[in-house]
């Protein structure tokens, strides 16, 4: 299968998911500032989810742009990645349904599991894309020198401990992870080494 067909299919799914995210937000019935309080939790959760989806989608395009071919394993890995992506609107709505949900363990834990699995499935996709393109030196070099995945995994592991003590840390952590992916890989590499040095002390 041509890689452009996979990219086009993925783009379509991503656009639908983002549309579902915004459809969850209901316009206030009264034109007063106080009515915005009812949608503030969902708006904040939507913002975090949208930014994270956006930065990973950009990375998806970046990787496939450097690839020359795709294998069956790449196709199935991409579908596995999309599976977790399609769950994002559901957990976003659950966490942002009201202010109580934003500080509750179960909604935040579900949000953390879905977005962590989505990140993990992206690592699987990257692995099989590298395997299908052993001669794509630019792709091999870019993945080898990019430490953002390792940083994201490290932060996610920390969030799994933190959610038991302070559930809102999940949204804060996912927002920070999104910021890491906005950085160029050289900056992320310095952050990665700084974190490792900190935990070794």
Give mean pLDDT, residues 150-156: 80
Report the alpha-carbon distance of residue 171 to residue 115 in Å, rounded: 10
Tokens (6 digits) for 146: 């990019």
**Exposed, middle or buried, 161 (CB in 10 Å: 0-12/13-18/19+)?**
exposed
Tokens (6 digits) for 192: 């990665």
The answer to which of 53-62, 90-99, 125-134, 176-185 has the lowest mean pLDDT is: 176-185
User: 0.85 exceeded by the pTM?
Assistant: no
The answer to which of 37-41, 93-97, 192-196 has the lowest mean pLDDT is: 192-196
Look at residue 87 in the predicted model and tell me its pLDDT.
Answer: 94
- Helix/strand/coil (H/E/C) assignment for every residue in the chain: CCHHHHHHHHHHHHHHHHHHHHHCCCCCCCCCHHHHHHCHHHHHHHHHHHHHHHHHHHHHHHHHHHCCCCCHHHHHHHHHHHHHHHCHHHHHHHHHCCHHHHCCHHHHHHHHHHHHHHHHHHHHHHHHHHHHCCCCHHHHHHHHCCCHHHHHHHHHHHHHHHCCCCCCHHHHHHHHHHHHHHCCHHHHHHHHHHHHHHHHC
Look at residue 192 in the predicted model and tell me its pLDDT.
Answer: 45
Tokens 């395997």 appear where?
A: 131
More confident residue, 182 or 69: 69
pLDDT bracket for residue 194 (50, 70, 90): low
More confident residue, 191 or 152: 152
Tokens (6 digits) for 64: 């496939």
pLDDT bracket for residue 130 (50, 70, 90): confident
For the chain, the domain total comes to: 1
Report the alpha-carbon distance of residue 173 to residue 195 in Å, rounded: 15
What is the sign, positive or negative, of the torsion defined by CA atoms of 76, 77, 78, 83?
A: positive
Give mean pLDDT, residues 142-153: 73
Give mean pLDDT, residues 63-71: 85
The answer to which of 118-127, 149-158, 191-200 has the lowest mean pLDDT is: 191-200
Give mean pLDDT, residues 82-96: 92
More confident residue, 73 or 30: 73
Range of the domain at 145: 3-200
Average pLDDT for the chain: 81
With a cut of 50, say whether residue 196 has pLDDT above it: no
């Amino acid at each position: 299968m041509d890689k452009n067909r996979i990219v086009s299919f993925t783009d379509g799914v991503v656009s639908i998911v983002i549309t579902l995210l915004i459809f969850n937000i209901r316009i206030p019935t009264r034109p007063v500032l106080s009515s915005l309080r009812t949608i503030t939790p969902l708006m904040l959760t939507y913002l975090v989810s949208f930014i994270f989806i956006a930065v990973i989608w950009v990375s998806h395009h970046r990787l496939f742009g450097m690839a020359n071919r795709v294998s069956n394993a790449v196709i199935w890995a991409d579908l596995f990645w999309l599976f977790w992506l399609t769950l994002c609107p559901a957990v976003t709505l659950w966490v942002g349904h009201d202010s109580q949900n934003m500080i509750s363990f179960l909604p935040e834990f579900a949000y953390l599991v879905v977005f962590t699995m989505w990140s993990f499935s992206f690592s699987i996709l990257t692995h099989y894309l590298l395997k299908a393109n052993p001669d794509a030196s630019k792709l091999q070099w870019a993945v080898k020198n990019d430490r953002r995945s390792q940083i994201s995994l490290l932060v996610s592991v920390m969030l799994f401990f933190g959610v038991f003590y302070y559930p809102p840390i999940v949204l804060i952590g996912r927002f920070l992870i999104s910021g890491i992916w906005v950085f160029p890989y050289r900056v992320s590499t310095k952050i990665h080494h700084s974190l490792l040095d900190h935990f070794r002390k």
